[in-house]
Structure 1
Amino acid sequence: MVKTRQELDLEYENGGFIPDAQSYADAWEAASAAFRDAHAGEYGVAYGENPRAKFDLIRPEGAAKGLFVFVHGGYWLQRHKDDWTCFGEGAFDAGWAIAHPGYPLAPEVRISEITAHIAQAVTALAARVDGPIVLAGHSAGGHLVARMAMAGVLPDAVAARLSHVLSISPVSDLRPLIPLTMNDTLRLDAAEAEAESPALGKPLDVPVTVVVGAQERPVFLDQSRWLSEAWDAKQMILPGRHHFDVIDGLRDADSPMMKAALG
């Protein structure tokens, strides 16, 4: 039986299936504001011309072990870098410099343009911090960091410094999004969806861990598996976790995902 558009939309709906979903976003924003208040950093540094093309960079005391970059999600449609600062906490506590790039959103730009913005941000950050680079991203951010691990996206010198990519609950194949209502805003066509799908491309020789919560919507379990299988990457399925709390481990330097990412 052919599914209706409404049925397809529900497959990619997260908040409606998580009790008290708004409380998670409220908690992220509060914890992130508190983290920024507690730590001096370089905030709102422009890396491009778009007003949202800015990053925050917070350095640990002493020499940083490397650079940890977190790319937020929101289906390329919403959210802001300031909502997610707290998810650099684990890496910061482990002695890494942490960065949170913002990026313009659809419909102002297409997904391929967002990919280019993240590459520009990572390149600008790499010029400021020496050492290995770990990229982590959640949901649409999981897609974006996976794109950074593909040939021709980052400059060779920057790509050579990638030590790990942590793709959390990613959308790895964009083709299923084409019939969804959100695509009225994303404007994906078949060519862009294929080109922007990490699961349809080949990765660089970089360690990749794909993380997903066992209690996530079935399509996110599928999307994560598709990337893990296509790239022969380690998949980490976290028991009891859903789309909004699967990222909590980023705040703990000793969590399984952070141990995998930081080595």
Structure 2
Amino acid sequence: MGRRTEAGYVFRDRYPERMDVYRRFDEASAAARATLPCKRNLAYGGHPRQVFDLFPAGNGAPLVVFVHGGYWQSLDKDRYSFVASSLLSRGFSVALPNYPLSPDADMKAIIGSVSACLPAILDTLEAPPPLWIATGHSAGGHLAAMLAMNAKACNVPLAACAPISGIFDVEPLVETSLNAALGLDVERAAALSPMRRPPPCCPLTAFAGASETPEFISQSERFVAHWRASGQPAELVSLRDKNHYTVLCDLLEEHSEIAEGITRAAKAFRREEKRIEWR
């Protein structure tokens, strides 16, 4: 395996604040579940991890689907309930799905599982939302992009894809120790990479910490270029002083760049809808 590639993606020891960040997330998430309206562990399939939480904002609210990371082999939606606090206060309903993990499930099955959650989420809402936005962190950014690309049959319009520090080209991971659980070869990795697929017809707002590894920054830069090459609008928002673990701390701040970026995307979609209606 390439030593540089390994260091670019496997870096727990590089960020000693990681466990403190996770404790902060856990505390904020417990508070969110205790104080916000929440429907917990709703099934969207037969696997024990095919469940989602829904934080509804009421009829007429747009929907955000947030997919957690963990390199497709760890973590859980419960750690990220705090995401709903920032977005619910801005008028969004928020759904957080779990999904089967590697090595018990391969990446293709995980992508299929996440894609299957959207119809169940929409059926749980009392009324169809006017739009939905796909987001997620790290491997969840990959899964959010694939969810956006696979949601063609959905009768609710996709307003934007907004991945956070995502992985869009899976092929470099074949050379890392992460592949022991993922079991990928170069051909399968290419087939499962959003970078190799045509983007859906919607804008992309990608977020990345300015203090990420060069490999992660490059992932977002290249994905934005890929999206633009298809003729769709795309932007990269760099979050100052944030690394791969602290980037989501932005959503704990009053003036969250991520939450504001998602809000801008929803507003832009609604403006465009009105412009088309008045033609």
TM-score normalized with structure 1 length: 0.91
How is 1:146-185 mapped onto 2 (pairs within 5 angstroms)?
146-150=145-149, 153-158=150-155, 161-185=157-181
SS across alignment from 1:157: coil
SS across alignment from 1:79: coil
Alpha-carbon contact 1:103-1:114 (below 8 Å) kept:
yes
2:236 is aligned with 1:235: yes
Q: Partners in 2 of 1:183 and 1:64 — Cα distance?
A: 43
Give 1:92's aligned residue. Answer: 88
Cα deviation digits, residues 94-115 of structure 1 (max 9, x gap)? 1221111000100011111111
Q: Partners in 1 of 2:253 and 2:19 — Cα distance?
A: 23
Which shows bigger deviation, 92-101 or 186-195? 186-195
2:15 is aligned with 1:18: yes
Counterpart selection for 1:78 from 74, 81, 91: 74
Counterpart selection for 1:43 from 40, 43, 50: 40
SS across alignment from 2:124: coil
Alpha-carbon contact 1:65-1:96 (below 8 Å) kept:
yes
Change (3 A) 1:92 1:64: farther
Give 1:133's aligned residue. Answer: 132
- Report the Cα offset of residue 91 of structure 1: 1.2
Change (3 A) 1:155 1:228: closer
Q: What is the aligned-residue identity percentage?
A: 30
Alpha-carbon contact 1:5-1:181 (below 8 Å) kept:
no
Q: Partners in 1 of 2:200 and 2:123 — Cα distance?
A: 21
- Report the Cα offset of residue 66 of structure 1: 1.4
Q: Partners in 2 of 1:37 and 1:257 — Cα distance?
A: 23
Alpha-carbon contact 2:208-2:239 (below 8 Å) kept:
yes
- Report the Cα offset of residue 33 of structure 1: 1.2
TM-score normalized with structure 2 length: 0.86
Cα deviation digits, residues 47-81 of structure 1 (max 9, x gap)? 00110000001113x43421111100000010011
Q: Partners in 2 of 1:195 and 1:127 — Cα distance?
A: 30
- Report the Cα offset of residue 243 of structure 1: 0.7
Alpha-carbon contact 1:253-1:259 (below 8 Å) kept:
no
Q: Partners in 1 of 2:148 and 2:54 — Cα distance?
A: 21
Q: Partners in 1 of 2:255 and 2:60 — Cα distance?
A: 18
2:205 is aligned with 1:204: no
- Report the Cα offset of residue 189 of structure 1: 2.0
Q: Partners in 2 of 1:164 and 1:254 — Cα distance?
A: 20
Which shows bigger deviation, 220-229 or 128-137? 128-137
Give 1:57's aligned residue. Answer: 54
Name the aligned partner's letter for residue 89 of structure 2: D
Cα deviation digits, residues 84-129 of structure 1 (max 9, x gap)? 1001222100122111100010001111111111111122112233
Aligned residues: 256
Name the aligned partner's letter for residue 81 of structure 1: K
5+ residue gaps, structure 2: 229-233, 265-279
Cα deviation digits, residues 185-207 of structure 1 (max 9, x gap)? 10112232111111122101111
5+ residue gaps, structure 1: none
Alpha-carbon contact 2:134-2:148 (below 8 Å) kept:
no
2:32 is aligned with 1:27: no
- Report the Cα offset of residue 6 of structure 1: 4.8
Q: Partners in 2 of 1:203 and 1:154 — Cα distance?
A: 11
- Report the Cα offset of residue 29 of structure 1: 1.2
Q: Partners in 2 of 1:149 and 1:141 — Cα distance?
A: 12
